[in-house]
Chains A and B, each alone.
Chain A
Amino acid sequence: NAGVTQTPKFQVLKTGQSMTLQCAQDMNHEYMSWYRQDPGMGLRLIHYSVGAGITDQGEVPNGYNVSRSTTEDFPLRLLSAAPSQTSVYFCASSYRLAGGPSSYEQYFGPGTRLTVT
Protein backbone atom coordinates (compact mmCIF):
# COMPACT_ATOMS: atom_id res chain seq x y z
CA ASN A 1 0.00 0.00 0.00
CA ALA A 2 1.21 3.49 -0.86
CA GLY A 3 -0.92 4.92 1.97
CA VAL A 4 -1.82 8.60 1.50
CA THR A 5 -0.17 10.36 -1.42
CA GLN A 6 -0.16 14.08 -2.19
CA THR A 7 0.92 16.04 -5.24
CA PRO A 8 2.65 18.35 -5.82
CA LYS A 9 5.24 18.46 -3.00
CA PHE A 10 5.96 22.15 -3.62
CA GLN A 11 4.05 24.89 -5.41
CA VAL A 12 4.46 28.63 -5.90
CA LEU A 13 1.43 30.66 -6.98
CA LYS A 14 0.80 34.29 -7.71
CA THR A 15 -2.03 36.07 -5.91
CA GLY A 16 -5.30 35.40 -7.70
CA GLN A 17 -4.26 32.15 -9.36
CA SER A 18 -6.19 28.96 -8.78
CA MET A 19 -4.93 25.42 -8.37
CA THR A 20 -5.85 21.97 -7.10
CA LEU A 21 -3.91 20.00 -4.51
CA GLN A 22 -4.30 16.29 -5.12
CA CYS A 23 -4.77 13.63 -2.43
CA ALA A 24 -5.32 9.91 -2.84
CA GLN A 25 -5.42 6.93 -0.48
CA ASP A 26 -5.40 3.22 -1.23
CA MET A 27 -6.48 1.91 2.18
CA ASN A 28 -10.22 2.04 1.47
CA HIS A 29 -10.66 4.49 4.34
CA GLU A 30 -14.07 6.01 4.73
CA TYR A 31 -12.99 9.40 6.06
CA MET A 32 -10.64 11.98 4.56
CA SER A 33 -9.57 15.43 5.75
CA TRP A 34 -7.48 18.42 4.75
CA TYR A 35 -5.42 20.37 7.30
CA ARG A 36 -3.14 23.34 7.01
CA GLN A 37 -0.09 23.76 9.23
CA ASP A 38 1.25 27.17 10.13
CA PRO A 39 4.11 27.91 12.56
CA GLY A 40 2.97 27.90 16.20
CA MET A 41 -0.62 26.99 15.30
CA GLY A 42 -0.59 23.23 14.98
CA LEU A 43 -2.80 21.71 12.30
CA ARG A 44 -6.15 23.28 11.52
CA LEU A 45 -8.98 21.46 9.80
CA ILE A 46 -10.06 22.95 6.45
CA HIS A 47 -12.60 20.44 5.10
CA TYR A 48 -13.41 16.82 5.70
CA SER A 49 -15.44 14.04 4.10
CA VAL A 50 -17.23 11.09 5.64
CA GLY A 51 -17.66 9.25 2.34
CA ALA A 52 -17.99 9.65 -1.41
CA GLY A 53 -20.31 12.53 -2.20
CA ILE A 54 -20.33 13.92 1.36
CA THR A 55 -18.16 16.83 2.52
CA ASP A 56 -18.32 19.36 5.33
CA GLN A 57 -16.45 22.41 6.56
CA GLY A 58 -13.80 22.46 9.23
CA GLU A 59 -12.36 25.36 11.23
CA VAL A 60 -10.87 27.36 8.34
CA PRO A 61 -12.81 26.62 5.12
CA ASN A 62 -12.85 30.07 3.49
CA GLY A 63 -11.08 30.21 0.14
CA TYR A 64 -11.07 26.44 -0.36
CA ASN A 65 -13.39 23.98 -2.10
CA VAL A 66 -13.45 20.19 -1.96
CA SER A 67 -15.33 17.36 -3.59
CA ARG A 68 -15.27 13.60 -3.10
CA SER A 69 -16.43 11.69 -6.14
CA THR A 70 -14.62 8.46 -5.20
CA THR A 71 -13.51 6.81 -1.96
CA GLU A 72 -9.86 7.14 -3.00
CA ASP A 73 -9.55 10.81 -4.00
CA PHE A 74 -10.12 14.07 -2.13
CA PRO A 75 -8.77 17.11 -4.03
CA LEU A 76 -8.52 20.56 -2.45
CA ARG A 77 -9.13 23.56 -4.71
CA LEU A 78 -7.84 27.07 -4.06
CA LEU A 79 -10.21 29.37 -5.89
CA SER A 80 -8.19 32.59 -5.90
CA ALA A 81 -4.90 32.25 -4.03
CA ALA A 82 -3.99 34.82 -1.38
CA PRO A 83 -0.71 35.29 0.56
CA SER A 84 -2.59 34.21 3.73
CA GLN A 85 -2.89 30.75 2.18
CA THR A 86 0.87 30.26 2.24
CA SER A 87 1.16 27.13 4.37
CA VAL A 88 1.91 23.43 4.42
CA TYR A 89 -1.15 21.37 3.52
CA PHE A 90 -1.70 17.85 4.78
CA CYS A 91 -4.27 15.37 3.64
CA ALA A 92 -5.28 12.57 5.99
CA SER A 93 -7.47 9.52 5.81
CA SER A 94 -9.01 7.69 8.71
CA TYR A 95 -11.19 4.85 9.80
CA ARG A 96 -13.37 4.37 12.80
CA LEU A 97 -11.84 2.42 15.66
CA ALA A 98 -13.91 0.13 17.82
CA GLY A 99 -14.77 1.63 21.19
CA GLY A 100 -16.72 4.79 20.62
CA PRO A 101 -18.34 7.10 18.10
CA SER A 102 -15.44 9.55 17.94
CA SER A 103 -12.37 7.34 17.69
CA TYR A 104 -10.69 8.04 14.38
CA GLU A 105 -7.09 7.07 13.72
CA GLN A 106 -5.67 9.44 11.11
CA TYR A 107 -3.02 8.61 8.50
CA PHE A 108 -1.25 11.62 7.02
CA GLY A 109 0.28 12.23 3.62
CA PRO A 110 3.72 13.85 3.21
CA GLY A 111 2.31 17.35 2.66
CA THR A 112 2.34 20.07 0.01
CA ARG A 113 4.30 23.26 0.71
CA LEU A 114 2.46 26.16 -0.92
CA THR A 115 3.80 29.70 -1.28
CA VAL A 116 1.58 32.50 -2.58
CA THR A 117 3.40 35.66 -3.67
Chain B
Amino acid sequence: GENVEQHPSTLSVQEGDSAVIKCTYSDSASNYFPWYKQELGKGPQLIIDIRSNVGEKKDQRIAVTLNKTAKHFSLHITETQPEDSAVYFCAAPPPGRRALTFGSGTRLQVQP
Protein backbone atom coordinates (compact mmCIF):
# COMPACT_ATOMS: atom_id res chain seq x y z
CA GLY B 1 0.00 0.00 0.00
CA GLU B 2 0.90 3.67 0.04
CA ASN B 3 3.45 4.89 2.59
CA VAL B 4 3.56 8.63 3.31
CA GLU B 5 6.36 10.11 5.40
CA GLN B 6 6.23 13.70 6.67
CA HIS B 7 8.78 15.94 8.32
CA PRO B 8 9.48 17.80 10.45
CA SER B 9 7.16 16.72 13.24
CA THR B 10 7.33 20.17 14.85
CA LEU B 11 8.23 23.54 13.38
CA SER B 12 8.50 26.87 15.13
CA VAL B 13 8.87 30.10 13.14
CA GLN B 14 8.68 33.82 13.81
CA GLU B 15 5.67 35.71 12.49
CA GLY B 16 6.37 36.85 8.95
CA ASP B 17 8.87 34.07 8.20
CA SER B 18 8.24 31.22 5.77
CA ALA B 19 7.51 27.61 6.72
CA VAL B 20 8.13 24.50 4.64
CA ILE B 21 6.81 21.01 5.34
CA LYS B 22 7.91 18.03 3.24
CA CYS B 23 6.36 14.66 2.42
CA THR B 24 7.45 11.62 0.45
CA TYR B 25 5.19 8.90 -0.93
CA SER B 26 5.84 5.38 -2.17
CA ASP B 27 3.23 4.57 -4.86
CA SER B 28 4.35 5.99 -8.19
CA ALA B 29 0.76 5.65 -9.51
CA SER B 30 -0.57 8.23 -7.03
CA ASN B 31 -1.87 11.35 -8.76
CA TYR B 32 -3.52 13.46 -6.05
CA PHE B 33 -1.72 15.11 -3.14
CA PRO B 34 -3.74 17.14 -0.63
CA TRP B 35 -2.70 19.11 2.44
CA TYR B 36 -4.96 19.41 5.48
CA LYS B 37 -4.89 21.83 8.41
CA GLN B 38 -6.21 20.73 11.78
CA GLU B 39 -6.96 23.25 14.49
CA LEU B 40 -7.31 22.22 18.10
CA GLY B 41 -10.47 20.21 18.75
CA LYS B 42 -11.56 20.16 15.10
CA GLY B 43 -11.46 17.83 12.15
CA PRO B 44 -8.84 18.28 9.41
CA GLN B 45 -9.74 20.74 6.66
CA LEU B 46 -8.39 20.76 3.14
CA ILE B 47 -6.27 23.85 2.43
CA ILE B 48 -4.68 23.03 -0.91
CA ASP B 49 -4.14 20.09 -3.22
CA ILE B 50 -2.21 19.27 -6.36
CA ARG B 51 -2.68 16.78 -9.17
CA SER B 52 0.23 14.97 -10.76
CA ASN B 53 -0.07 16.85 -14.06
CA VAL B 54 1.26 20.10 -12.52
CA GLY B 55 4.43 20.88 -10.61
CA GLU B 56 3.23 23.79 -8.47
CA LYS B 57 -0.01 25.34 -7.27
CA LYS B 58 -0.42 28.54 -5.32
CA ASP B 59 -3.27 30.04 -3.32
CA GLN B 60 -2.43 33.39 -1.74
CA ARG B 61 0.18 32.67 0.98
CA ILE B 62 0.25 28.91 0.56
CA ALA B 63 1.75 26.84 -2.23
CA VAL B 64 2.40 23.20 -2.91
CA THR B 65 5.16 21.81 -5.11
CA LEU B 66 5.37 18.29 -6.51
CA ASN B 67 8.35 16.33 -7.78
CA LYS B 68 6.96 13.10 -9.28
CA THR B 69 10.41 11.76 -10.19
CA ALA B 70 11.61 11.97 -6.60
CA LYS B 71 8.14 11.17 -5.22
CA HIS B 72 7.95 14.10 -2.86
CA PHE B 73 5.75 17.14 -2.38
CA SER B 74 6.02 20.14 -0.10
CA LEU B 75 3.80 22.76 1.51
CA HIS B 76 5.10 26.32 1.59
CA ILE B 77 3.54 29.02 3.77
CA THR B 78 4.86 32.55 3.32
CA GLU B 79 4.44 35.56 5.62
CA THR B 80 3.27 33.33 8.44
CA GLN B 81 0.70 34.65 10.91
CA PRO B 82 -0.28 33.41 14.40
CA GLU B 83 -3.50 31.96 12.98
CA ASP B 84 -1.39 29.61 10.84
CA SER B 85 -0.48 27.76 14.06
CA ALA B 86 -2.02 24.29 13.72
CA VAL B 87 -1.18 20.70 12.79
CA TYR B 88 -0.68 20.10 9.07
CA PHE B 89 -1.06 16.74 7.34
CA CYS B 90 -0.07 15.63 3.88
CA ALA B 91 -1.81 12.67 2.23
CA ALA B 92 -1.88 10.48 -0.84
CA PRO B 93 -4.39 7.90 -2.06
CA PRO B 94 -3.55 4.25 -1.34
CA PRO B 95 -3.85 2.03 -4.42
CA GLY B 96 -7.34 0.61 -4.90
CA ARG B 97 -8.90 2.46 -1.96
CA ARG B 98 -11.31 5.40 -2.11
CA ALA B 99 -9.65 7.06 0.88
CA LEU B 100 -6.32 8.63 1.86
CA THR B 101 -3.11 7.60 3.58
CA PHE B 102 -1.91 10.43 5.82
CA GLY B 103 1.51 11.52 6.98
CA SER B 104 2.15 11.70 10.72
CA GLY B 105 1.57 15.46 10.90
CA THR B 106 3.60 18.62 11.55
CA ARG B 107 2.79 20.91 14.46
CA LEU B 108 3.50 24.46 13.27
CA GLN B 109 3.83 27.19 15.85
CA VAL B 110 4.08 30.81 14.70
CA GLN B 111 5.59 33.02 17.38
CA PRO B 112 4.22 36.59 17.41
Contacts and interface: CB of A to CB of B under 8 A. Distances in A.
> Are A and B co-members of a single complex?
yes
Interface residues of A, number: 33
B98 A31 contact: yes
B32 A42 contact: no
A53 interface: no
Contact of A42 (B53, B97, B99, B104): B104
Interface string B11-47: 0000000000000000001111010100001111110
Contacts of A110: 41-43
Interface string A100-114: 111111111111000
Interface string B33-71: 010100001111110010111000000000000000000
Contact of A104 (B6, B9, B99): B99
Given A104-B32, A104-B99, A43 B44 contact: yes
